[in-house]
Amino acid sequence: MRITLEQISPKEYEGNLIFLYGNEVADRNLPLGRKEIECLKQRRADDPYAVVAFDRLPWRLFVVNFDAEKPGDENQEKLRRSADKVVAMLKEAKQTSAGLTGDGVIPEEVVAFLEGMVLSDYTFDRYKGQQPAHVESLAVDSTFLSQEELDRNLRLWNRIFWCREWVNLPVADLNAQEFASELEDIAKDLGVSCTLFDKKKIEALRMGGLLGVNKGSVDEPRFVVLEYHPDNAVNGKPVALVGKGVMYDTGGLNIKPDDYMREMKSDMAGAATMASVVFAAAENHLPVHVVALLPMTDNRPGFNAYAADDILTMYDGTTVEVVNTDAEGRLILADAIAYAVANYAPELIIDAATLTGAAVRAIGTYGIAAMQQNADNPFNLLKILGNQIYERIAEFPFWPEYDKLIESDVADIKNCGIAQAGAITAGKFLAHFAKQTPYIHLDIAGVAFFSKKQDYYAAGASGYGIRLLYAFLQTYDMTISK
Ligand code: BES
Ligand code: ZN
Ligand code: ZN
């Protein structure tokens, strides 16, 4: 979607027009007759958020109702969702361009609507012969935002698209090696420093978790570190962003039965998310020092694949009893978290991982299952921002009793507990490696990949979490980690 800024006067606009209609005083600018306005007000009375289309042959007018008297997060989310409806209506009418304006509307609401349009217009179509329809061009009324603001948003949204594309790609077309070198290329273009460890280096570093999971695969593992360190960084020590990069999760020898293996190409969404956040921060010159640590491998049952009862020695020397080879994400993340602690002394670690089915069972697909250790302040900030932009986090308890569930008879800890509290024991396992460093765990299993369309997200990868973490870095201040 090509987006330009233009002055738009609704009554003279030649083309499809989207009009955000915030309050009834605003009807003076609507290019509608008296009867039509009466009819519109009736629809508005029935449903204050109705999207009403009028034929203005050869064009259409879409009036997007909302309540300007209730500005805030919910209103903005409703506008994102209405934007999805308008995109669908444009496509249905085989229209590829439109103008966007409104009255009784504030810039934040216009941006939210625009965001909804942009996110909902994404399709994963590179394997399709017949290309799906798109809104090709959109002219936004320049009274609502500057070119610079628009560009900053476009760069962020573009990163979300890239993330969705990587996550949607099947493992046959994006293995660890390919993903790592793709990130390296982008980092080079953006002036982000990239360190790429191959298998030999990972062996030399003794990352037993990453190597253990990789044993059943023909494809080598990779470990990628992306660092963005601007001169004007507000933080002395970096924020470390760790992302699960399981390129495909078959479950390993504890193989996933039936349909449970479906969609497991998305098991690297955490790594894709964190790389995208660092790239967006760099492109928009956020004044924050941030490092992404991305362990990558697939999880397969081939060769001498790692097996239940194996004991792995992790990067920090912790020994781990493998109880189930399908609890692989935490093994590769443990090495990455320990590596971050030992080599970057970060002031905060956040991980994003499609880690557990238990998280999905607990809260479904409407938010992130989140946990924290020594990180009250940043966690609260994340929660507030999540509610604002509708990438929400729900805090799970992290009581010391849960630690007992991952105690092992033969090693320091084991890689899974009992059937209960599965999302929490996974988080506890990771928290062990963060030691005293403030730590936030984001289990994105429910939101990274939608089996069917959800609001403005098409079925497939969502990029959920990028806007949240970007907003977090944007408002980040040294004091909050204390
Ligand atoms: N990648 C899966 C978690 C997952 C499940 C993500 C569904 C997205 C949707 C993870 O590696 C896994 O298999 N977890 C197991 C852990 C269990 C063996 C302790 C699970 O959740 O069943
Ligand atoms: Zn698994
Ligand atoms: Zn997994």
pLDDT tens per residue across span 437-451: 999 999 999 999 999
Does pLDDT of 409 surpass 90? yes
CA angle 345, 438, 464 (to 5 degrees): 105
Q: How far is the CA of 167 from the centre of ligand 3 (A)?
A: 13
**Is residue 15 very low, low, confident or very high in pLDDT (cuts 50, 70, 90)?**
very high
What pLDDT score was predicted for residue 478?
A: 52
Q: 63: which strand partners? A: 19, 52
How many angstroms separate the Cα of 204 from the Cα of each of 16, 211, 315? 61, 11, 10
Residues 6+ apart with CB under 8 A from 265: 167, 168, 169, 170, 171, 247, 248
* 285 and 236 in a common domain: yes
| Residues measured by CB to lie within 5 Å of ligand 2, the ion | 249, 326, 328
> Which of 262, 322, 356 has most ligand 1 atoms within 8 Å of its beta carbon, as the pocket-test mutant?
356
CA nearest to 440, candidates 365, 382, 354 = 382
C-alpha dihedral sign at 112, 116, 117, 122: positive
Strand-by-strand arrangement of the 311-313 sheet:
311-313, 319-321, 413-414
Give me the phi and psi of 99, to 5 degrees please. -115, 150
Q: How far is the CA of 339 from the centre of ligand 2 (A)?
A: 22
The two three-digit tokens of residue 41, written as one number: 């007000």
CA angle 462, 187, 386 (to 5 degrees): 35
* 167 and 133 in a common domain: no
Q: With respect to residue 434, please indicate whether it lies within any of the assigned structural domains.
A: yes
* 135 and 189 in a common domain: no
Q: How far is the CA of 267 from the centre of ligand 3 (A)?
A: 5
Q: Is the CB of 270 under 6 A from ligand 1?
A: no
| Residues measured by CB to lie within 5 Å of ligand 3, the ion | 246, 249, 267, 329
The two three-digit tokens of residue 429, written as one number: 């396992």
Q: How many CA atoms lie within 13 A of 26 on its CB side?
A: 21
* 136 and 167 in a common domain: no
Q: Whose CA is nearest to atom 16 of ligand 1?
A: 327
* 64 and 34 in a common domain: yes
CATH at residue 210: 3.40.630.10
Judged by its nearest atom, the ligand closest to the C-alpha of residue 247 is 3
Residues 417 and 425: their CA atoms lie apart, in Å, by 6
29 and 59 in contact (C-beta within 8 Å)? no
Does pLDDT of 24 surpass 80? no
**Is residue 264 very low, low, confident or very high in pLDDT (cuts 50, 70, 90)?**
very high
CA nearest to 269, candidates 29, 410, 470, 463 = 463
Global confidence as pTM: 0.97
CA nearest to 80, candidates 121, 122, 109 = 109
* 90 and 200 in a common domain: no
Q: Is the CB of 298 under 6 A from ligand 1?
A: no
* 184 and 111 in a common domain: no
**Is residue 480 very low, low, confident or very high in pLDDT (cuts 50, 70, 90)?**
low
Surface-to-core class of residue 309, CB atoms within 10 Å of its CB (0-12 exposed, 13-18 middle, 19+ buried): exposed
Q: Is the CB of 249 under 6 A from ligand 1?
A: yes
- 3-class DSSP state of 262: coil
* 164 and 124 in a common domain: no
Residues 332 and 209: their CA atoms lie apart, in Å, by 5
Range of the domain at 292: 156-479
Q: Is the CB of 416 under 6 A from ligand 1?
A: yes
Q: Is the CB of 329 under 6 A from ligand 1?
A: yes
For the chain, how many structural domains are there in total?
A: 2
Residues marked active site are found at 256, 330
Describe the crossing of helices 107-120 and 73-92 by its angle, rounded to 10 degrees: 50
230 and 281 in contact (C-beta within 8 Å)? no
Q: What percent of the chain has pLDDT over 70?
A: 99
**Is residue 188 very low, low, confident or very high in pLDDT (cuts 50, 70, 90)?**
very high
Question: pLDDT digits over 302-356, tens only?
Answer: 999 999 999 999 999 999 999 999 999 999 999 999 999 999 999 999 999 999 9
* 175 and 55 in a common domain: no
Q: What is the DSSP letter of 83?
A: H
Q: With respect to residue 149, please indicate whether it lies within any of the assigned structural domains.
A: no
Last residue of one domain, picked from the residues 94, 115, 142? 142
Of the given ranges (66-80, 181-195, 417-431), which has the lowest mean pLDDT? 66-80
The two three-digit tokens of residue 188, written as one number: 């080079």
The two three-digit tokens of residue 384, written as one number: 């507030």
> Which of 255, 263, 299, 355 has most ligand 1 atoms within 8 Å of its beta carbon, as the pocket-test mutant?
355
Q: How far is the CA of 382 from the centre of ligand 3 (A)?
A: 24
E strand or H helix at 120: helix 107-120
Q: How far is the CA of 358 from the centre of ligand 3 (A)?
A: 12
Q: Whose CA is nearest to atom 17 of ligand 1?
A: 327
Position 399, amino acid = W
Q: Whose CA is nearest to atom 3 of ligand 1?
A: 356
CATH at residue 90: 3.40.220.10
Across the chain, what does the average pLDDT equal? 96
What pLDDT score was predicted for residue 482?
A: 46
Q: With respect to residue 147, please indicate whether it lies within any of the assigned structural domains.
A: no
Give me the phi and psi of 408, to 5 degrees please. -115, 150
How many angstroms separate the Cα of 26 from the Cα of each of 13, 31, 66, 103? 17, 11, 12, 5
* 354 and 264 in a common domain: yes
Q: Which residue has the tokens 């403005």?
A: 456
Residues 399 and 367: their CA atoms lie apart, in Å, by 21
Q: Are strands 17-21 and 97-103 parallel, antiparallel or unpaired?
A: parallel
Residues 452 and 334: their CA atoms lie apart, in Å, by 32
Q: What is the DSSP letter of 407?
A: B
Q: With respect to residue 111, please indicate whether it lies within any of the assigned structural domains.
A: yes
* 424 and 320 in a common domain: yes
Q: With respect to residue 79, please indicate whether it lies within any of the assigned structural domains.
A: yes
> Which of 300, 326, 449 has most ligand 1 atoms within 8 Å of its beta carbon, as the pocket-test mutant?
326
* 471 and 335 in a common domain: yes
